[in-house]
Amino acid sequence: MFCVQIAEVLVAIENRYAFSERLCADYIANASPDECDFSVSATLEEIAAENNDGGTFSPAYCESLALYRKICTRMLDYDAFLLHAAVVSYRGRGFAFAAKSGTGKSTHVAQWMRALGDDVTVVNGDKPILRWQSGEGGEAKDAGAPNETPGGEAVEVACDQLAGEFVAYGTPYCGKENWGQNTSVPLHAVCFIERCEPGEPDRLSRLEDDGEIIARIMNQILMPNDPALAARQLDLLDRLVSSVPFYVLRCTPTPAAFDAAFQMTLCDNGRKRMHRCEGSGHED
């Protein structure tokens, strides 16, 4: 057993194979299991269930996947969740790029690295953790509820005025390129990458429809089976949609695609719409 710190949460990991400890080497914390926020382990059945690619993965690798699945599920108790995306940090701002496998997400991140050099850092190339951090520095378990007047009457508030922000954290699980660092950055924007048709120009467009954003991002998260945790995940997604802008980049994996995406760093990315913060529901 060993302990790690991921997204400022201490986790005790009970492992069967040494691979998981080697994978997490940069995140190992000097703490005892009793000091950790929670612990995870994987049964032989859970390990075998991760090997869904014709049985080609080793048991050690499958255990690492099963352990991370459990870590990400428990992270919901700490206002945090897995986003299947690559996150880069540029001048203190985090930009997340999500795409279907084979679309060119890694190629696009490589364009940022080549174009910006030391000004850009890959926080995580595949499976970062996003965590809501309240402005007061504590966990925002009750954030999203309507404010109350001194007389006890609920009033509408703007979600984009909530005191806090989402922070993207590096994790040991950072893709086959192994791009990532044990660091964090405030999330500034999320961009979905799509392949454009031959002859179609690269185009970056802002997503304004919350329903479309949620439909797209549902393909990039790990939805738990437990109803209470699933509700918590949906609440965090609603808060994410209200906190940062979303874009779609239709492109080919070329330097021109980087030029289009880089416009995000130059835009005024504040969300202007007002929302009713009642649970996970909202209104324009």
Q: What is the pLDDT of residues 191-215, one digit of tens each?
A: 999 988 777 888 889 999 999 999 9
Task: Give residue 277's pLDDT.
Answer: 36
Task: Give residue 150's pLDDT.
Answer: 36
Rounded CA-CA distance 275/264 in Å is: 23
Q: Report CA-CA distances (Å) from 181 to 20, 25, 36, 126.
A: 17, 11, 22, 12
Task: Give residue 263's pLDDT.
Answer: 81
Positions in the chain whose pLDDT score sits under 50: 137-160, 271-284
Pairing label, strands 184-195, 154-155: unpaired
Reference 132, options 27, 8, 264, 220; nearest CA is 8
Reference 82, options 159, 173, 144, 147; nearest CA is 173
Rounded CA-CA distance 34/36 in Å is: 6
- For the chain, domains (ranges, CATH) are 1-78 (no CATH), 79-284 (3.40.50)
Task: Give residue 136's pLDDT.
Answer: 60
